[in-house]
Homo-oligomer: A and B are copies of this chain.
Amino acid sequence: MTQEKSQKAKNLTHLLSPEAKSRQNSPLKDAFKYYKLPGMTFLGGGLPLSDYFPFNKITAEIPTPGFTKGIGAPLTDDIKSTVEVYKKADQNEPNQIELARSLQYGFTEGQPEVIAFLKEHTETIHGVPYQDWDLIASVGNTESWDSTLRTFCSRGSSILVEEYSFSSALETANGQGINTVPVTMDEFGIIPSALETLMSRWTGNKPKLLYTICTGQNPTGSSLSAERRKQIYDIACKYDFIIVEDEPYYFLQMETYTKDKSQREGKQVHGHDEFVKALVPSFISLDTEGRVIRLDSFSKVIAPGLRFGWIVGQAALLERYVRLHEVSIQCPSGLTQTLTNALLQKWGQSGYLDWLIGLRAEYTHKRDVAIDALEKYFPSEVCTWVPPVAGMFFTVSIDVSKHPKFHELGEDPIKIESLIYEEGIKQGTLMIPGSWFKSEGQSTPPQKNLPQNPSQRTHIFFRGTYAAVPLDQLVIGLEKFGKALRVQFELE
């Protein structure tokens, strides 16, 4: 935060939706300037007295930084810390958020202490290149995305999405009557030249934004390289659209996969600088114009049920989100804000980085176990995979043209996909068919005139995860899916 920044964000308010543009400030807000003015008796606001909040003191047991036994180790006494939060500030340690404040109305942007922590963290990790950026709280990326669409789009708007994308995110757009135009991907994410071609041929209303899960993508597990990010950012500037980077998996970046187990041990990052440098640059770290909206969240790094995310972007655009949040979610739960803040303040910036480094080690190991199992059990005659470098997901690409019923079933890859899905369930294991994530929108002119990934006529994929199951189960599950593939393809 000490760095002086001369550059200011570009004015992009022309990209706001009619809904976002029309939001009024409440006249009541104006009256609140008199609240707590010396000598003023303020009878204006309907706030309950905090005396009636029936939570007086809350204590939580948390792991002690260092996390030398791993972040998932049972909390034995030697690695256990305690945080205490109180209703009144005078009982709390510095930088705690008293319950009398967090359980009251107010602070749509988020409580100042935890927002300041997140801003400092964001500057450390991303070093946003312009001056007037801001950071506001949300109740998680699902809500941040819903609010983003309401802030920039209206019924009939088009947006750009990855060819395969998180089905809930697509459904958010579909419900709002927004056209989700797919951008061609390969195993490393969006292909910049395909995006450029799509935009250069576009007619009619330009898309308002590109939605990308650029690190550990859901469902493909792909991660955009620094080079592709820069190319895509330049295209966004050229064609004047917003990039929305939905980044729940950003800190699930891992070491690159290596088959030789003896080489794995030494690869894990140790120091904080080494850790930060090993991260792929985010879009917002490249954002000289202020046209990136970054959706960040504690869901994958602390816990999803906190319902606590945050949005980073230029202040003038985020102000419109705050107006929307005032009349929708208001802010994350006060218990969540007070307790998450207590945890973060206890850990400090340094302890939080230790936690994230611990997370990196855990996911690297899980990913290694998954890819080892693919190597062992999946038939290489019909399958390929790219070991993911981030996220919770891996995908297995399958050449359906080698399936014995391919011709009989009219060379329809989806029919073979169904057979494999059903066979997997029969064998007692479930992975998700890639076609379930296909985005369905239409560009103008229709994208069929555009270059398509030719392998789609002969290749399908399945999405698996190494995040959610114990490692022994993961291996058993993949062994069973490998068997399902062998049965279907009549191998051995």
A residues near B, CB below 8 A? 18-19, 22-24, 26-28, 31, 34, 39-63, 71-72, 75, 80, 99, 101-105, 139-140, 142-143, 146, 154-155, 167-169, 171-172, 174-177, 218, 299-300, 302-308, 323-324, 326-337, 339, 343, 355, 359, 362, 392-393, 425, 428-432, 436, 463-465, 467-469, 473-474, 476-478, 480-481
Contact = CB atoms under 8 A, between A and B. Distances in A.
A142 B481 CA distance: 47
Nearest to A172: B327
A432 B28 CA distance: 8
A62 B54 contact: yes
Given A22-B175, A46-B465, A392-B46, A58 B55 contact: no
Contact of A468 (B47, B463, B473): B47
Contacts of A218: 46
A45 B39 CA distance: 57
A80 B56 contact: yes
A355 B52 CA distance: 10
Nearest to A327: B172
B334 A306 contact: yes
Given A43-B430, A47-B467, 17 more contacts: A19-B176, A28-B432, A31-B430, A41-B429, A41-B473, A43-B468, A44-B430, A45-B468, A46-B467, A58-B58, A104-B305, A105-B304, A140-B330, A142-B328, A172-B328, A307-B329, A308-B333
Nearest to A477: B41
Contacts of A103: 303-306
A473 B35 CA distance: 13
A59 B62 contact: no
A27 to B, nearest CB: 5
Contacts of A71: 52, 54
Stoichiometry, copies per complex: 2
Given A27-B167, A327-B172, A329-B139, A467 B56 contact: no
A452 B346 CA distance: 61
24 contacts: A19-B177, A22-B175, A24-B175, A27-B436, A41-B474, A42-B430, A42-B469, A42-B477, A43-B468, A44-B463, A46-B392, A46-B465, A46-B467, A47-B467, A54-B303, A139-B333, A146-B327, A146-B328, A154-B155, A169-B327, A171-B327, A175-B324, A306-B333, A336-B336
A302 B333 CA distance: 13
Q: Is the interface of A mostly helix, strand, loop or mixed?
A: mixed
A61 B57 contact: yes
B329 A305 contact: no
Most chain B beta-carbon neighbours within 10 Å: one of A50, A103, A431, A473: A103
A341 B30 CA distance: 37
Nearest to A30: B436
A101 to B, nearest CB: 8
B335 A465 contact: no
List the 6 closest pairs (A to B, CB-CB), nearest first.
Answer: A305-B334, A41-B477, A333-B333, A103-B305, A51-B72, A103-B303
A40 B428 contact: yes
A48 B50 CA distance: 35
Contacts of A28: 167-168, 432, 436
A71 to B, nearest CB: 6
Contacts of A176: 19
A333 B330 contact: no
A58 B49 CA distance: 25
A160 to B, nearest CB: 19
Nearest to A26: B167
Nearest to A73: B51
A176 B324 CA distance: 10
A366 to B, nearest CB: 9
Contacts of A60: 55-59
A302 B19 CA distance: 33
A384 B178 CA distance: 52
Nearest to A338: B305
Contacts of A436: 27-28
A328 to B, nearest CB: 4
A41 B467 contact: no
Given A55-B60, A146-B327, A168-B26, A469 B43 contact: yes
